[in-house]
Amino acid sequence: MNSPIVRILILAGISLFFSGDVFSQDECSRNYRTCVRTCNANRDQALSRNNLERSQIRIRLGQALIQCNVQYVNDRTGRQACRNEKIRAANAELAALDAADRQANRERLNCITECRRQLSECRQPPAPTLDLGGGFEVECLEVHLSGL
C-alpha cells in the first residue's frame, strides 16, 4: 500500500475513535433520547387508543342510525329526531376524544420539556468541592506597634 494512504487511514481511524459521536454518545444524550422516545411512545399509544375508540363510535353510530330507521319506519319526524339524537351523542363522544388527543400532545410537550431539563442538569459540570483533608489551624501574627 501507498504510505500516504496508510497515514490518512490511520488518522481517520484515530479521529473516529476519539470523536465520541460516531461509536457512542455520552450518557446524557442517550438518556435524553430514551426519554424523548418514551414521551413519543406514550403520546402515540394514547392517540392509537383514541383512534380505535373513534372507529367504534362510528360503528355504533351506524348501527344506531339503522335502528332509528327500523324503529321509525313509518314516522319520518320520529326517525329524523332519533337520528339527530344519535348523531349529537356521537359528536359529543368524538369531541371528547379530540380533547384527549390535544391533552396527549400537551403531555408529550411537557414530557419533552422535562427531558430537556434533565439533559441540561446532566450536562452541568459538578460543583467543585474543597476537601481540606481534615482540620487546620490558623495562626495569628503578633503585631507590635512601637512608637505610638
Side-chain-facing half-sphere of 26: CA atoms under 13 Å: 7
Residue whose C-alpha cell reads 319526524 in the numeric block: 77
Closest alpha carbon to 110 in 35, 30, 44, 45: 35
Average pLDDT over residues 14-25: 54
pTM for the model stands at 0.65
CA dihedral 8→13→18→24, nearest 10 degrees, is 150
**% pLDDT > 70, the chain:** 74
47 in Cβ contact with 134 (< 8 Å): no
Least confident of 3-7, 19-23, 70-74: 19-23
Average pLDDT over residues 38-65: 97
Read off the amino acid at residue 16: L
pLDDT tier at 13, thresholds 50, 70, 90: low
User: Between the CA of residue 106 and those of 42, 82, 109, 139, 140, what are the distances in Å?
Assistant: 12, 36, 5, 62, 63
112 in Cβ contact with 17 (< 8 Å): no
- Give the Cα separation of 24 and 11 in Å (integer): 19
Q: Which pLDDT value is given to residue 124?
A: 86
List the beta strands (DSSP E) in 1-63: none
